[in-house]
């Protein structure tokens, strides 16, 4: 970069004529660049990318407009009701339940959880018996307790 030399004095910079000339020059440059830009842009972008960009832009503007309308209408905080929710689709629709909800019945009795301490040998024997009877250990213990209580009531 070399030194800049002014052919005119500094007086011309502060005059009214200078600003008018600058405005005219900037307008000419803007029109030149405005006419040159579309040609360069047309060379760079293919027709399909323009269509894609235009389609994407229109989709986004529609989505934003709908969201704004929903917010103004007060639909922002509402969650979809059971009837508005979509049914299962895809893989969920292919998987069927292995349990029939009609056969599941809740016990009308009030049940409570109980923790008991047994010797490990006794637990192993009870497990073997439960395995032979093809039942759970908890059901077997429940039946044993029920039988014991019946005997005590007599």
CATH number of the domain bearing residue 130:
1.10.1220
Specify the pLDDT at position 8. 62
Mean pLDDT of 61-68: 85
* Letter string b/e over residues 80-93, b meaning 16 or more CB atoms within 10 A of that residue's CB: eeeeeeeeeeeeee
Specify the pLDDT at position 125. 94
Report the greatest alpha carbon distance in the chain: 128
8-17, 46-55, 71-80, 111-120: segment of lowest average pLDDT: 8-17
Asked which of 43, 73, 103 is the last residue of a domain, the reply is 73
Rounded Cα distance, 127 and 138, in Å: 10
Domain count, the chain: 2
The upper half-sphere exposure of residue 126, i.e. CA atoms within 13 Å in the direction of its Cβ, equals: 15
pLDDT band (50, 70, 90) for residue 27: low
CB 41 within 8 A of CB 35: no
Question: Does residue 26 belong to any structural domain of this protein?
Answer: yes
Question: Does residue 6 belong to any structural domain of this protein?
Answer: no
- pTM value? 0.31
Rounded Cα distance, 31 and 34, in Å: 5
pLDDT digits (tens, 9 = 90+) for 73-131: 776 556 666 666 666 666 766 776 676 767 766 666 777 888 999 999 999 999 999 99
Asked which of 73, 89, 124 is the last residue of a domain, the reply is 73
Q: Which domain holds residue 127?
A: 115-154
Question: Does residue 41 belong to any structural domain of this protein?
Answer: yes
Specify the pLDDT at position 127. 92
Question: Does residue 123 belong to any structural domain of this protein?
Answer: yes
- Cβ-based neighbours of 12, under 8 Å, separated by 6 or more: 18
59 or 151, which is more confident: 151
CB 127 within 8 A of CB 137: yes
Question: Does residue 110 belong to any structural domain of this protein?
Answer: no
Asked which of 23, 39, 73 is the last residue of a domain, the reply is 73
% of the chain at pLDDT higher than 70:
47
The tokens describing 115, both together, are: 């923790």
Question: Does residue 61 belong to any structural domain of this protein?
Answer: yes
CB 137 within 8 A of CB 126: yes
Question: Does residue 109 belong to any structural domain of this protein?
Answer: no
Question: Does residue 104 belong to any structural domain of this protein?
Answer: no
Specify the pLDDT at position 54. 84
């Amino acid at each position: 970069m070399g030194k800049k030399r002014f052919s005119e004095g500094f007086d011309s910079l502060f005059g009214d004529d200078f600003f008018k000339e600058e405005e005219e020059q900037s307008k000419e440059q803007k029109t030149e660049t405005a006419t040159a830009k579309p040609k360069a842009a047309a060379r760079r972008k293919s027709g399909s990318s323009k269509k894609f960009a235009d389609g994407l832009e229109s989709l986004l503007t529609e989505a934003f407009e709908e969201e704004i309308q929903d917010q103004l209408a007060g639909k922002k905080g509402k969650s979809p009701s059971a009837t508005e929710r979509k049914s299962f689709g895809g893989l969920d629709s292919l998987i069927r339940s292995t349990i029939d909800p009609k056969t599941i019945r809740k016990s009308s009795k009030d049940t409570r959880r109980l923790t008991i301490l047994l010797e490990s040998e006794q637990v192993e024997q009870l497990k073997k018996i439960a395995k032979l009877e093809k039942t759970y250990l908890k059901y077997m213990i429940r039946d044993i307790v029920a039988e014991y209580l019946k005997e005590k009531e007599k």
